[in-house]
Amino acid sequence: MAVVRMDHPPGNGLVGPSPEATPSRPPPLAQVDGVVFPFLGGFGRYQKRLVLLSWIPALLVSCNQFSDYMHLAQPNITCAGNATAAADPVAVPPLNGSTHTPFMTDNYEENEMECSCSDPHIQLEFGLKQNVITQWWLVCDEEWQAHIAHLSFLLGTAVGALLAGAIADWWGRLPVLCVSVCATCVCGIAVTFSSTVLAFCMLRFVQGFGLAGISLSLYLLRIELCLPAWRFSMTMVANVLAVGGQLLLPALAVLCVDWHVLQLVLICPLALMLSYAWFFPESLRWLLATQRYERAKGQMYQVAQSNSVDTETDESGILSALEAELHQTPQSSCILQIIHTRNMWKNILVLCVNSLSSSGMGQCFVRAVSGVSFSPKHYLVLVGIAMGGCIVLVTVVLVMGRRGAQLSFMIVTALASLLQLGLLNLIGKYSLRHDTALRDTLNRRLSVALSVIGMLTSHAVSHLSMFICAEITPTVIRGGAVGLLMANAAVGMCVTALVDLQKMRGFFLLRIILTCSCLLSIICIPLLPETTGQPLPESMAEGEGLLRRPLPSGEQHHLLTRSEVAEYSRVADTPMHRQGNDTVNGIRTS
């Protein structure tokens, strides 16, 4: 479908400069999905090879992002001796010369009793014989340092996503990828040799920073390589591979035995991604959108040659238009430009709320199932739910579209949370009030079932929010917008560490806030545009003109009084309104 340019934005009563005004088509170079990519062979062999290369790191990055489940896993504790009033540091032979007792408790109420155990027996459940907790004895009074270590990694991910997105819009996707790989490898190896908890936290912060840059740059490169018909399927394959990385992590922990070895095994393969600087090109879509035509020219010839396209017959005028624009000065944009938009900032704000609330609710559902402890069984169930979420997401999107699927998943997430918060307390309050055991069993089973459903739908909302954001934001600021959503998702994942730091205090209030955010999102999601099968917007004007589908003209008359119908008909017949282009999304202008 054509994207038209207007001298003025459409408005009620706005009349064009002349009755003969006709819509002007954008230049061929601005129609990347409709003209440029089809001229270069569509989604050909060249693009498929690059998408395959973008899939491979998803497995490795996922292993690194979820490595805290192994590094900071709580040991299983059995107390062989009697609990004493105070722990005796001499009674337990210390490892590495430490005088602290090497365990963490499973219940906050039993913390004082467990810390006074005179002869604890410790066993890690994830295959490692030593991890960060047992090396530095982050237990009892020092347990808060383990939560700070996890928070530092998540906050590094959030900050890295924000900065990497802004840099990707300004200097390109490929420089962000290369710098992020270098930072991740250097700091990841340095984590192995950290001598204190403070050094571990700081290095993990930088490692999270680098991993966010890798994930963001690969996500952008993959999205911008694909035609509309291939975008969603190629993205979902990457998501499934990321879940596969989570499934591979426990097996690597069993083979490595020690957390130092595991860290090196997870980091060293990422160094191979430095070779991407030589054979992975910059995003052609970004080069054209930022008027870097000299670099785009060489890449277009390379793509055409790889896809066996004859560039001698330039029927669409792509190459001649490119030659005429070589004198243009490159222009970069920043995500802060959305402040001056009318519709775009609202769409991004809605998606940010969706990402934050769904990610936070997912962590709340995990805590409702596992409690304070987190066993390998819980981890495998979590991975299985993530895989199921990907499958359900694909099915529902194919049936209902992007916006309909997100709305449905958010409704289910909010309902699951509301049932857990209040209605479960009413079960058995009257009918089973004399059978306490049956009532508690029923409540527990229903709570677990609702948590599983909530984890599945919140996982789907988080992924779909990021994908919709990539589709509705223009190429010139897509990196900053997607980075903003990744940062919100990382902040939402901080829920578990924050709750642990507060010893579960305020958990109910946090659930209330996140549930209200979900309800607010349900109201706002219908305002988003539907992007199924639509080309990606390239400029700020195209992104601003991407609106939700308006009411059909026949239904609009029912909203007007009789005296206003005639006036409305005259306005709709003006030349400026005849330039409007109704699409599946609504009105696209640029």
Which of 432-441, 526-535, 547-556, 575-584 is predicted least confidently?
Answer: 575-584
Predicted confidence at residue 560, as pLDDT, reads 46
pLDDT tens digits for 325-372? 888 888 888 999 999 888 899 999 999 999 999 999 999 998 888 766
Helix or strand or coil: residue 12? coil
Instruction: Give the list of residues 6+ apart from residue 93 with CB closer than 8 angstroms, or none.
Output: none
Please spell the DSSP secondary structure of 517-574, one letter per residue: HHHHHHHHGGGSPP-TTPPPP-SHHHHHT--PPPPPHHHHGGGS-HHHHHHHHHHHTS
**Token pair 């996707």 is at which residue?**
173
| DSSP code for 117 | B
User: Three-state DSSP class for 84?
Assistant: coil
Q: What's the CA gap between 180 and 157, in Å, rounded?
A: 12
Give the pLDDT band (50/70/90) at residue 4. Answer: very low
| Highest mean pLDDT, choosing among 113-122, 150-159, 507-516, 561-570 | 150-159
CA 17 to chain centre: 45
Token pair of 283 as six digits: 């995003």
**Average pLDDT in the chain:** 81
What's the pLDDT tens digit per position in 79-114? 765 444 334 433 333 333 333 333 333 454 455 555
Q: Answer yes or no: are the C-beta atoms of 422 and 459 closer than 8 Å.
A: no
What is the predicted pLDDT for the residue at 122?
72
| pLDDT confidence of residue 163 | 96
Q: Among 168, 170, 171, 178, which Cα is nearest to 280's?
A: 178
Integer angstrom CA distances of residue 353 from 48, 154, 350, 556: 33, 18, 5, 31
Among the listed residues 101, 106, 93, the one whose alpha carbon sits nearest the alpha carbon of residue 141: 101
The predicted model gives 516-539 an average pLDDT of 91
Using the predicted structure, report yes or no on whether residue 522 has a pLDDT greater than 90. Answer: yes
Angle at 234 between CA 231 and CA 239, to 5 degrees: 120
More confident residue, 453 or 277: 453
In this model, does residue 298 exceed pLDDT 70? Answer: yes
C-alpha–C-alpha distance, residues 470 and 475, integer Å: 9
> Out of 1.10.3720.10, 3.20.20.140, 1.10.760.10, 1.20.1250.20, which CATH number does the structure's domain 27-75+124-309+319-332 have?
1.20.1250.20
| Cα(578)–Cα(23) distance, integer angstroms | 9
CATH of 338-546, one of 3.30.470.10, 3.30.1480.10, 1.20.1250.20, 1.10.540.10: 1.20.1250.20
CA geometry: angle 271, 272, 274, nearest 5 deg: 75
CA distance 475 to 267: 31
Write out the two tokens for 430: 């009257």
Buried b / exposed e over 490-504, threshold 16 CB at 10 Å, is: bbbbbbbbbbbbeee
Element spanning 123, H or E: strand 120-123
For residue 106, CA distances in Å to 113, 139, 370, 508 come to 12, 11, 10, 20
Helix (H, G, I), strand (E, B) or coil at 58: helix
Same fold for the pair 27-75+124-309+319-332 and 338-546: yes
Structural domain spans, the chain = 27-75+124-309+319-332, 338-546, 549-590
Which residues, including other chains, have CB under 8 Å from residue 27's CB and lie 6 or more apart?
321
- Section 503-519 average pLDDT: 87
Among 53-57, 157-161, 290-294, 423-427, which stretch is predicted with the lowest mean pLDDT? Answer: 423-427
Tens of pLDDT, residues 185-232: 999 999 999 989 999 999 999 999 999 999 999 999 999 999 999 999
Give me the pLDDT at residue 99, please.
35
Helix (H, G, I), strand (E, B) or coil at 83: strand
**Contact in structure between 70 and 249 (CB atoms under 8 Å):** yes
CA 143 to each of CA 126, 528, 535: distance values in angstroms, whole numbers, following the listed order:
19, 44, 50
The yes-or-no verdict on residue 529 having pLDDT over 60 is yes
Instruction: Give percent above pLDDT 90 in the chain.
Output: 48
pLDDT digits (tens, 9 = 90+) for 224-246: 999 999 999 999 999 999 999 99
pLDDT in tens, 383-433: 999 999 999 999 999 999 999 999 999 999 999 999 888 766 666 555 555
